[in-house]
Structure 1
Amino acid sequence: MDPVPSISTAVRRETIRCVADAFDALIKIGTEADVSGWDFSWLAGRATEERPEWRYAVQLAERLGRASASLDIQTGGGEVLAEAAVFPPTAVATESWPPNIDKATRLLHPRGVAVVADADEPPLPFASEAFDLVTSRHPATVWWDEIARVLRPGGTYFAQHVGPASAFELIEFFLGPQPQARRGRHPDDEADAARAAGLEVVDLRTASLRIEINDVAAVVYLLRKVVWWVPGFTVEKYRDRLLDMHQQIERSGPFVAHSTRHLIEARRP
């Protein structure tokens, strides 16, 4: 006859079962969430991130109101651009990911902004000196020579970029130490590249911002959406690490990471 489990053993088994059920439920929520577009409002209550003090969307709207021809590169779902109250007579946005193209088209076309499918590789599909304002929020790649080419003399590139080692606490939790990648996107390097393309850097500001992640559903959502953080991410591939993070959050509270951002303004002489 099998021995009767002790009360403590039964309690441990029930605890393990409850943890597994809660983990599986959160994984399911994060897996089924819609990750199209560049709107992170789904994370409300699940994760928070500080915002830079310079209020990029507000400054962008003001500049769009003064421009005659604008280009927003890698617009995502168009959510940030759509916050502007007024657009110039010629307003264009580019995007490469089909779900984002569809979303940006629905959001921006009624506002008079043309959305152009573009592979985010040079050349930009526009004539030289076509725009007096080129903008971008969190571009994955920055082709400075092309930005300089499509800007008119006196025109401005105004953007908020992701900085070096952004969210690396989260990235390295899954990938391990990434010492060589930590230098990428450094604002000094980007300013040098802008100058090499013939632009004058007139403003460069940096910020480090606290991120708090409250559950593993938010982690799954983020890694499905920001696909370059953990390339090839799937729940199946990283299930053990996801469970480790779930248990860490349950034990110690929110997982804390830090994003880095820089605001850059560069002008074509």
Structure 2
Amino acid sequence: MDYDELIHEALTTSFEGWDFAVFHGRIGYDGDLPWDYEKLVREHLPEAASLLDLGTGGGELLASLGPLPPRTVATEGYPPNVPVARRRLEPLGVEVVEAGGRPLPFPDGSFDLIVNRHETYDPREIRRVLTEGGTFVTQQVAGHDLEEINAALGGPPHKDPDWNLATATAALTEAGLDVTWSREASTTTTYHDIGALVLFLRVVSWQVPDFDVDTYDARLRALHADMERGRPLRATAHRFALLAR
């Protein structure tokens, strides 16, 4: 497809929940993280009678983790994802709450286990709604994630470039939690065609906050020309994970 066809496809392709299968073969991921978030969560499920999943997306990952604790609740702050998550999770006995802000809409000491993949959170709220001895498991996207995309487009930087393992650990410690394990790592993400990049930026709208194809037309066309010549756009994905009690 030519440039205009790829852009049209990217702007009209439907995207539901948080399923990135649509990018298969178009975005490449070089290297694995040295931890497995799903495994981290599974290791703590047997000890939990209650579970809170913050920012469940379409509920894809949570639904795969069964059997779930007797009381399992998921939050989702992006309104289009809420009905998707409810269709997937409510048949499994999971309550889905539309919530993305703070404070969390739960009483003190509500959950033995709180899990969070790539969702913002307030450390004080995590401490408040955890039971005594409860566990918080999170994997986060660091502030400098994929910054090569922003540079290639000449766009603004991330909203919170100082978000990293050190600042997250300090904030949780200040809130009264003990961080018992943590890791951070970087991998390479490769965008092979301009349509995949534009669709990605539609979905991950916070990467380039003011993104639209008209504003960035010249830069997008230049990237497309590079990709057509066999020079894909490579960017560094920054992740960190931690356990806190």
Fold conserved between structures, TM > 0.5: yes
Corresponding letter in the other structure for 2:224: H
Structure of larger gyration radius:
1
Corresponding letter in the other structure for 2:150: I
What's 2:52 paired with? Answer: 71
What's 1:41 paired with? Answer: 21
What's 1:153 paired with? Answer: 132
Partner SS state of residue 155, structure 1: strand
What's 1:61 paired with? Answer: 42
TM-score in terms of structure 2 length: 0.94
% identity of equivalent residues: 38
2:177 is the counterpart of 1:199: yes
What's 2:64 paired with? Answer: 83
Instruction: State the Cα distance separating 1:177 from its structure 2 match.
Output: 6.9
CA–CA distance in structure 1, aligned partners of residues 219 and 159 of structure 2: 21
Partner SS state of residue 186, structure 2: strand
Listed as ranges, the matches of 1:256-267 within 5 Å are 256-267=234-245
What's 2:154 paired with? Answer: 175
Corresponding letter in the other structure for 1:191: T
What's 2:229 paired with? Answer: 251
Match of 2:89 among 81, 97, 108: 108
- Deviations for 1:41-81, whole angstroms, at most 9, x for unmatched residues? 10001002243131112322332343100001111111121
- Deviations for 1:187-206, whole angstroms, at most 9, x for unmatched residues? 10110000010000001101
Partner SS state of residue 2, structure 2: helix
The answer to whether the 8 Å contact 2:201/2:207 transfers is yes
What's 2:73 paired with? Answer: 92
What's 1:214 paired with? Answer: 192
What's 2:141 paired with? Answer: 162
The answer to whether the 8 Å contact 1:165/1:260 transfers is yes
CA–CA distance in structure 1, aligned partners of residues 211 and 124 of structure 2: 32
Corresponding letter in the other structure for 2:225: Q
Corresponding letter in the other structure for 1:90: R
The answer to whether the 8 Å contact 2:169/2:179 transfers is yes
The count of corresponding residues between Structure 1 and Structure 2 is 244
2:104 is the counterpart of 1:124: yes
The answer to whether the 8 Å contact 2:40/2:137 transfers is no
- Aligned CA RMSD, in angstroms, stands at 1.6
- More helix per residue: 1
TM-score in terms of structure 1 length: 0.86
Partner SS state of residue 98, structure 1: coil
Most deviating of 217-226 and 234-243: 234-243
The answer to whether the 8 Å contact 1:30/1:217 transfers is yes
CA–CA distance in structure 2, aligned partners of residues 177 and 75 of structure 1: 28
What's 2:6 paired with? Answer: 26
Corresponding letter in the other structure for 2:48: A
* Gap runs ≥5 in structure 1: 1-20
